[in-house]
Amino acid sequence: MLEWEGLEHICGECTRCGLCETRKNVVFGVGNRTADVMFVGEGPGEQEDIQGIPFVGPAGKLLDEMLSIIDLDRKENCYIANIVKCRPPRNRDPLETEQDACIGYLRNQVTLVKPKIIVCLGRIAAKKLIDPDYRITRQHGQWVCKNGIWMTAIYHPSALLRDVGKRPETFDDLISLRAKIRELEAKV
Ligand code: SF4
């Protein structure tokens, strides 16, 4: 297990999978490194690759709006990262081999942040972190506790941009998230 500085340095020079060949920037993560809530997406897109920051561009703007509904802010009280830190070409899904090569960095980040809650953003992250058979359309918003961390998944903001019909369900999931945050705060 590495501390933040060493982890970010090693990640920034990583060549463990083929995504290093086409990336512009490694997208390490952003936010409060002692937050109770962590969001995990699948991987960087074009804007993220250019800027080196997760969830920027239209999907990032929508994510920030979603967070503000439940009083979360990436600069203050949550941490955001991805399963893979380099952009898959043409925004394809990251391959299992790429996810497996990269997941150790995320696990190290989780160990350092020590979140009480992890919210997977979309199918890929939910399959990797919650259940390989996860069905986002059926299971989003459901809670499981793994290794002492409460976990759930909501639709990826990009999916919500493509299909606004999914937004009411996601609003309900965000309210459930806020309730879980309050429940865990009350136990402290
Ligand atoms: S995606 Fe992860 S494992 Fe692959 S090169 Fe980038 S940092 Fe390394």
Summarize pLDDT for 15-58 with one digit per residue, the tens.
999 999 999 999 999 999 999 999 999 999 999 999 999 999 99
Q: Would the CB of 106 count as within 6 Å of ligand 1?
A: no
Q: Would the CB of 102 count as within 6 Å of ligand 1?
A: yes
**Ligand 1 mean position to 84 CA, how many Å?**
6
Confidence at residue 188, expressed as pLDDT on a 0 to 100 scale: 67
Confidence at residue 187, expressed as pLDDT on a 0 to 100 scale: 81
DSSP 8-state code for residue 75: T
Please name the residue whose Cα sits nearest to atom 4 of ligand 1: 17
Strands 149-154 and 117-121: parallel
Please name the residue whose Cα sits nearest to atom 2 of ligand 1: 102
> pLDDT tens, position by position, for the chain (188 residues)?
999 999 999 999 999 999 999 999 999 999 999 999 999 999 999 999 999 999 999 999 999 999 999 999 999 999 999 999 999 999 999 999 999 999 999 999 999 999 999 999 999 999 999 999 999 999 999 999 999 999 999 999 999 999 999 999 999 999 999 999 999 998 86
Distance CA 125, CA 122 (A): 6
E-assigned strand segments in the chain? 30-31, 37-41, 78-82, 117-121, 144-146, 149-154
Confidence at residue 66, expressed as pLDDT on a 0 to 100 scale: 97
Distance CA 107, CA 187 (A): 25
Which atom number of ligand 1 is nearest to the Cα of residue 23?
A: 6
